[in-house]
Structure 1
Amino acid sequence: MAVTSNDFARIPDEMTITEDAATFIEGLRHDHIPAEAIRIGLRCILDAAGLYVAGSEEHSVHMLIDEARDIGGRADARLLGGAGLKVPVGMAARVLGTAGHAHDWDDTQVSVDPAHVYGLLTHPTIPPLTAALTVGQMLGGIDGKRLMTAFQAGVEVESKISEWMLPQHYLSGKHSSGTVGTFGAFAAAAWLLGLKGRELRHGFGIAASFASGIRCNFGTMTKPLHVGRASENGVTAALLAKRGYTADPAALDGPWGFLAVMGGGVSPEKMAQGFGKTWSIVEPGVSIKPYPCGILTHPTMDLMLRLVTEADVKPEEIETISIHAGTNILKPIRYPIASNHLEAKFSLPAEVSMIALVRQAGKREFSDEFVASSAMQDMQRRVKTQFDPKIEAMGFDKVRSRITIHRKDGSLVEGWADERYRGGPDNPMTDAEVEAKMRSCCAGVLDSAAQDRLIAAVWGIESAADASAIVGLMP
């Protein structure tokens, strides 16, 4: 039975999540990490590398780069898009982390718990990987096994906290990639900095007060900034803790701790999972996104692609498109007509229209120019989303939807989305497909030879003498 925040006053002594997380970080060694976690971790890092490159093109990231350049400061870590300039580690993490989430294309934590309303929680890779890469540079370089260990520490801590929280956290308007992502970045930075004892526990307390991100900013520049700030704040919390800055050493626990105040409580039965006993990156796993938008829309987009391909539906033949879904999709995917690429990431009409028009939805389609085109604006107005009580009654453990395409000749093309969404653990992208996605992210920024070097560097990162140097292969 899940416990709500109102119950926490009765069980503060039973919660030891902060202590358990700290003990996990203190004791973690590379040889503790399962081989399958390493394999998946390499795929996640390759995916992220492409996303950092793609994000470097974004206007929102350019503004952060300009801000970092204007502020200046200690030359700790390379500024993405800064032509080799180095800036303080927190500022470097803010820019790199924002770039990694700028296209909303980064991987997603999976849950098999039907109590988790959307079944999908935080974007686990970017905050801890960003922290590891930037702190690693600040330390003068770190070998590949150290980078992988720090990254895995962050993913595990972030994912378990996200899994154990009640879905009220998300339903009440918090953005877990900004809030819980802070702990992922902190755990990675803390491991690299060698934090132990009270310093490590105080660091969790600092991170808990930094953690922030609200869903009203979905569809704006500030949504990816949530992840950039999570990266920066996690690093800053670790640095302050190392200096002796104090906070509550059990800040995840109790009636006034993060999980009660920000999370609405926890599921006590899940806490027995512990950290590093089962590895969340393996079980239940992560999904690598085929499309640069909210994962909740991906099964619907795949269905649309299947329908227009199999029936050879031309754009000019379409009268209307009806999308039937439950509130788990229709509430967060909130823009009825997208006017720019940021809104399109949270607009089913926009995403389905891309597929209807050009049978793909990638970096080119998620651009302001394409979204604002007359063809896109016209097609979006032919798409209607409809609440379906029968789908709602099936529950939220899967992302369910159906589409009916009404042709101008009166014929219908319709079908149901595959609940095994492409990119998820039970229908994963191949390594070759992950590489192809990475190349599509880098198109127009890095030439094919530079892409080859970056791909080779990631696949070989475990044996690298300085793994943080891969940032130098980016713009």
Structure 2
Amino acid sequence: MSVARNIYAEVPEQSDATAAAASFVEAVRYEDLPEEAIRIGTRCILDGLGLFVAGSDHEMVQILVEEALEIGGRPDAQLLNLPDQVPAPMAARVLGTSGHAHDWDDSQVSVDPAHIYGLLTHPTIPPLTASLIMAQKLGNVDGKQFMLAFLTGFEVECKISEWMLPQHYMSGMHSSGTVGTFGAYAAAAKLLGLKGDRLRWGFGIAASFAAGIRCNFGTMTKPLHVGRACENGITAALLASRGYTADPNALDGPWGFFAVQGGGVSPEKMNDGFGRTWTILEPGVSIKPYPCGVLTHPTIDLMLRLVTDADISPDAIESVKVHAGTNILKPIRYPIATNHLQAKFSLPAALAMIALARKAGKREFSDEFVQSEAMQAMQRRIRTELDQEIEAQGFDVMRSRIAIQLKDGSEVAGWADERYRGGPENPMSDEELEAKVRSCCEGLIDQSGQDRLIETAWNILKLSDVSDLATLLRNK
């Protein structure tokens, strides 16, 4: 009973987050979008489109494609990069999983020292998937309507994630699977034009659908969390549009989402509301340079700097020790990665890639590379260690340091840059982003197809029918 009382105490009895979210979704207009939010949103859309392509040939996605083709049904939307069309929720499951297949999609940012990084969601794929699928189902959705739906879902998803207490993640929930459901729902609801009770019922349906547990990190099911969030968000919107009922206050109260899954909320943050300060602007979003958990990125960059500046060859390395806090070491949990999925949550694997190839991209995060003799041997030279000094500094940033022992007896060491590459304070340039998209498409879409995809994404606001965008995910 004491646990229950503590949870209840964290959710104000009179909180009205559901009503506020519904009011925002219903009322927000394209004219309300800050110009800078549109600019960054366009970058996120371009990034997401590349990631849809990158995941399209992954085994986990092909299994879902086969399942979708066997089920069949109403031809609402294109099945990923195939000409076949399937019902909108099924198309969203496949597309959303593909977007998260490589764990390369962007990350929400927080400046709250108590808000550990793992709690933050991957904000783009759920609302982008829902917007692209619903644009095909509905037809005649132009670029501005599409951008509005995408940024609406992005904002709802990020605010709900930011307001929750860290217990949500620490107890084993995966935010991108849970909170991502609301991002997909809000985007779909915006395009469907849901209003009033039906809009609030949809939030209630989405709240009951929201799921995803961290034990599945390092397996095919981790990306499926995001695919299911996309599927469930669209399903919630379609059911609500038909009048399917749910609690109109499902985010709030002792039995609402925040209390049951979130461990409570921060009342002070809830006072910020939706769309007053757009999360995509403040505190911002991180577009990932590496296809793995963002918690590893500053350490990967540090390793790259150390081996490059000192020109360290793989054979010269005796051992590597990585010092970090529990905010990094607990979720990044594999001491030796035996496949590419585990490598996404393994510091020894990521740093071994840098030691061997001075790169950690799509090619390196493959079973062929991870399971190679050289990778397996290099991983065994790399150890992680809990650093109490780092732990004591808190979890407001991703702190780590590396010490490389060389076979000649010397040491090369350094601290990770807290202004990690890809984050709002050190963002990838547009040229770097385009290069990432091209690497996502390598071997899947030819040069001219890549050119069309990139150019169309940059000019998305000019599109008269965004459903055309789906056809660019495959070679013509």
Instruction: Tell me, yes or no, if the aligned pair for 1:110 and 1:120 is still in contact at 8 Å.
Output: no
Aligned letter for 2:149? A
Identical residues among aligned pairs (%): 70
1:382-404 Cα offsets, whole Å, 9 max, x none, are 00111110110111001000001
Note if 1:447 corresponds to 2:446: yes
CA displacement at 1:128 relative to structure 2: 0.4
Q: Residues of 2 paired with 1:230 and 1:141: CA distance?
A: 25
Note if 1:378 corresponds to 2:400: no
Instruction: Tell me, yes or no, if the aligned pair for 2:140 and 2:466 is still in contact at 8 Å.
Output: yes
Q: Residues of 2 paired with 1:5 and 1:139: CA distance?
A: 45
Sort the Cα spacing of 1:40 and 1:120 in 2 relative to 1 into closer, same or farther, 3 A. farther
Q: Residues of 1 paired with 2:346 and 2:268: CA distance?
A: 36
Instruction: Tell me, yes or no, if the aligned pair for 1:119 and 1:398 is still in contact at 8 Å.
Output: no
Pairing of 1:385-404 with structure 2 (within 5 A):
385-404=384-403
Partner residue in 1 for 2:23: 23
Sort the Cα spacing of 1:10 and 1:99 in 2 relative to 1 into closer, same or farther, 3 A. closer
Q: Residues of 2 paired with 1:4 and 1:140: CA distance?
A: 47
Pairing of 1:51-62 with structure 2 (within 5 A):
51-62=51-62
Instruction: Tell me, yes or no, if the aligned pair for 1:4 and 1:265 is still in contact at 8 Å.
Output: no
Aligned letter for 1:57? D
Q: TM-score, normalised by structure 1?
A: 0.98
Sort the Cα spacing of 1:265 and 1:382 in 2 relative to 1 into closer, same or farther, 3 A. same
Sort the Cα spacing of 1:105 and 1:112 in 2 relative to 1 into closer, same or farther, 3 A. same
3-state SS in 2 of match to 1:390: helix
Q: Residues of 1 paired with 2:287 and 2:423: CA distance?
A: 7
Partner residue in 2 for 1:226: 225
CA displacement at 1:81 relative to structure 2: 3.3
Partner residue in 1 for 2:191: 192
Instruction: Tell me, yes or no, if the aligned pair for 1:106 and 1:289 is still in contact at 8 Å.
Output: yes
Q: Residues of 2 paired with 1:157 and 1:22: CA distance?
A: 10
Aligned letter for 1:278? T
CA displacement at 1:95 relative to structure 2: 0.4
The CA RMSD measured in Å over matched residues stands at: 1.2
Unpaired segments of 5 or more residues in structure 1?
none
Q: TM-score, normalised by structure 2?
A: 0.98
1:192-218 Cα offsets, whole Å, 9 max, x none, are 001001000000000000000000000
**223-232 or 117-126, which deviates more:** 117-126
Aligned letter for 1:160? K
Pairing of 1:426-465 with structure 2 (within 5 A):
426-465=425-464
CA displacement at 1:469 relative to structure 2: 1.6
**165-174 or 134-143, which deviates more:** 134-143
1:136-177 Cα offsets, whole Å, 9 max, x none, are 100023100010000011000000000000011000000000
Instruction: Tell me, yes or no, if the aligned pair for 1:4 and 1:266 is still in contact at 8 Å.
Output: no
Q: Residues of 1 paired with 2:154 and 2:141: CA distance?
A: 18
Unpaired segments of 5 or more residues in structure 2?
none
Aligned letter for 1:113? D
Q: Residues of 1 paired with 2:293 and 2:11: CA distance?
A: 36
Pairing of 1:168-317 with structure 2 (within 5 A):
168-317=167-316
Partner residue in 2 for 1:409: 408
Partner residue in 1 for 2:38: 38
3-state SS in 1 of match to 2:365: coil
Instruction: Tell me, yes or no, if the aligned pair for 2:323 and 2:401 is still in contact at 8 Å.
Output: yes
Q: Residues of 1 paired with 2:198 and 2:219: CA distance?
A: 36
1:52-104 Cα offsets, whole Å, 9 max, x none, are 0000010000000000000000000000133x000000000000000000000
Sort the Cα spacing of 1:285 and 1:4 in 2 relative to 1 into closer, same or farther, 3 A. farther
Instruction: Tell me, yes or no, if the aligned pair for 1:255 and 1:261 is still in contact at 8 Å.
Output: yes
Q: Residues of 2 paired with 1:389 and 1:29: CA distance?
A: 49
Runs of 4+ in 1 over 3 A off after TM superposition: 9-13
Instruction: Tell me, yes or no, if the aligned pair for 2:119 and 2:161 is still in contact at 8 Å.
Output: no
